[in-house]
Amino acid sequence: MATEQREGSLEAPTRHPLGQDNPEFWDEEALFKELERVYDICHGCRRCVSLCGSFPTLFDLVDESDTMEVDGVAKQDYWQVVDHCYLCDLCYMTKCPYVPPHEWNIDFPHLMLRAKAIKFKKGDTKKRDRLITSTDAIGKFASIPVITQTVNTVNASKTARKVLDKTIGIHPEAPLPKYHSKTLAKRDPGRKPLESDAVSTGTTSGKVALFATCYGNYNEPEIGEDLIRVFEHNGIPVKLVQDTQCCGMPKLELGDLDAVTAAKERNIKVLAALVDDGWDIITPVPSCTLMFKQELPLMFPQEDDVQKVKAAMFDPFEYLMLRHKDNKLDTNFKNSLGKVAYHAACHQRVQNIGMKTRDLLQLVQDTEVTAIERCSGHDGTYTVKSEFHDMAMKICRPVVNKVKQAEPDHYTSDCAMAAHHIESGLADGSRPEHPISLIRKAYGI
C-alpha cells in the first residue's frame, strides 16, 4: 500500500547526523541529484522566500528558465543558491513543513553545508574566504599591541576600505570589528575570583566556565567582563576557559570540515574535563553555543565527550532564567532600562530555549521590551563580502525598521555582530548594547 503524502507534519522535527563519514556525502553526482530533488520541492512551496538570498535566487533561476521548472536550471547555477546560504537554520526551524520525520526529509541548511564541503574540498574557495574565517589567526595577529591600532585605523579608513574592496572583495561599507590588544584572556588574570561555594539546582551546577569565543576575546572583551560581573553578582563562580581555539563555526560555514574537526579535537578535550570537574559551560556568542549544542553533536554523534559537552552547554540567559526558576536569581534591579528593542539572534532561536533574553530583560522594573524575531542577515562573514553586502542589508532592513518604530532607549541583540549590522542600517550615530551589558546596567554594578 502506498503511503499517503502529507502536507507538513504534526510531529516534532528531528535532525539527522550530518554524515560526513559516509562516502556518498562527498559524491558530487549524488549531491546534484539531491539538490535537484530539494530545489524542486522548494520551488513548489516557496514559504521561505523572505528568509535569505538563497530562496529568491533559486526561484528567479526557475522562473527565468525555459521550462519555468527546476529541470530548466543549469546545474552550474545551483551553486548560486549554495553561496547565499549562511546556515542560519531558520528555514529548517520556522518555515519548512517537510523536515524529518516527514517522508520528504528536507534539511536545507545541511544540504547546503554538504555542497559547501564538496566545493571546499575541490579547492573552489576564495582566498578571502579562507582568510576571514581564520578568526583565531587574525585575532592573535591583530591583538599584538603594535599592530592593533594600525589594523583598527585601516578598517576605519574609507581609502583603505576601497582598496580592500578592489583587491580581496571586502565591502567598503560593511562594519568590521575592532580589535583590542588587551584581550579578555589578558584582562582576566587581574580579576579577583568570587570566593563563594557553588549552589546547584536541579538543572545547573551553579558554577560556570566561560568559553570566551574569538569575538568575545579579541573584539569585545567588555561583553565577557559584563557577563562575569552579572553571574558573580548572582553568586555564580566563573572561570575563563584556557587553551581553546575558535569553536569552528566560521570554518563550518565555509565547508572546511577538516578545520572543524581539528578545532573540535582541541576544544572538546578541554571542555569535557571541565564538565567532569562539575562546571557548566557558557559562551557570550549564540553561534558558538550552537556549535557545541547542535553542529558538533550532529557531526560526531558517537563521541561521548562531544555529547557530554552538549549537555553542559548553555546560553547565558538560558542559564540565568533556569536559576530564576529555582529562585536563585537576584531580581533586585536598581535601574530601569526604559524601552528596549531586542533582536533575537537566529542561532539563539535555533537552540529551542525560548526567548530567555527577553524574559530576563522584562524582569527589570519599568522596562518595555519589543522583540524582533527576524534574521539580521549578518552571519559573521556574509555581509562583509562585496558580492553579498547589498543582499545582507536588504535582509536587515525589516529589522532596522522595527527598531526605528520602537523608538527605544536601547537596542540590542544576543549576537553582537548582528547588533552592529543593525547599527550600520540605522546609520544615525546610535550604538547597540549587549543584553548582558544592559542587565549589568540594570543591577547598577
For helices 316-325 and 221-233, give the axis angle rounded to 10 degrees: 10
Burial of 65 (0-12, 13-18, 19+ CB in 10 A): middle
Give the pairing of strands 280-282 and 238-240. unpaired
Average pLDDT, the chain: 94
Question: Cell numbers 545541511 correspond to what residue?
Answer: 110
Can you tell me whether residue 25 is helix, strand or coil?
helix
Secondary structure letter of residue 7 according to DSSP: S
CA atoms within a 13 Å half-sphere pointing along the CA-CB vector of 339: 10
The pLDDT of 53-66, averaged and rounded, is 94
More confident residue, 49 or 217: 217
Distance between CA atoms of residues 315 and 317, nearest Å: 6
Residue 3 above 70 pLDDT? no
Is the N-terminal amide bond of 250 cis, ω within 30° of 0?
no
Q: Which amino acid does the sequence have at 324?
A: H
- Fold for 326-443, please state it: Rossmann fold (3.40.50)
pLDDT digits (tens, 9 = 90+) for 346-355: 999 999 999 9
Domain ranges in the chain are 23-121, 127-167, 184-322, 326-443
pLDDT score, position 278: 97
pLDDT digits (tens, 9 = 90+) for 280-320: 999 999 999 999 999 999 999 999 999 999 999 999 999 99
Distance between CA atoms of residues 256 and 118, nearest Å: 9
Cα dist. 284→116, 225, 291, 383 in Å?
Answer: 27, 10, 13, 21
Full DSSP string of 349-388: HTTT--SHHHHHHTTSTTEEEEEE-S--S-TTTGGGBTTT
